[in-house]
Amino acid sequence: MDPRTDSHDELVRLRTRVERLEAQMAFLMRDLGVAYPDRPDWTPSRETIDLVVKGDTKAAIRQVREETGAGLKDAKELVESLLQSQKQRR
């Protein structure tokens, strides 16, 4: 067996499980009437802004993940929104 295939399959299983757990958590929080934001409140650090300005998207995403604990998808979306804001200012 190819270890890469095993790793990929395991990642797919884990992602599916996390998605189900997140959906269950959101349902329970709604049912209890507790606010459950989809995204964390976050103000970008100077370091993150500098990385975005330099165009180092990958490093900016890593920095956002470190600062917020966000997953890859959310961190990427946050950095993309910073990039979009940066482009609009020019």
What digits encode the pLDDT tens for the residues 42-64?
Answer: 788 999 999 999 999 999 999 99
Q: What is the mean pLDDT of residues 59-79?
A: 89
Is this structure's pTM higher than 0.85?
A: no
Cβ atoms 11, 18 nearer than 8 A = no
Per-residue pLDDT band for 70 (boundaries 50, 70, 90) equals confident
Residue 46 three-state SS: helix
Confidence at residue 54, expressed as pLDDT on a 0 to 100 scale: 93
Higher model confidence: residue 30 or residue 90? 30
| Percent over 70 (pLDDT), the chain | 86
Q: How many CB atoms lie within 10 A of CB 20?
A: 10
What does the pLDDT read at residue 41?
66
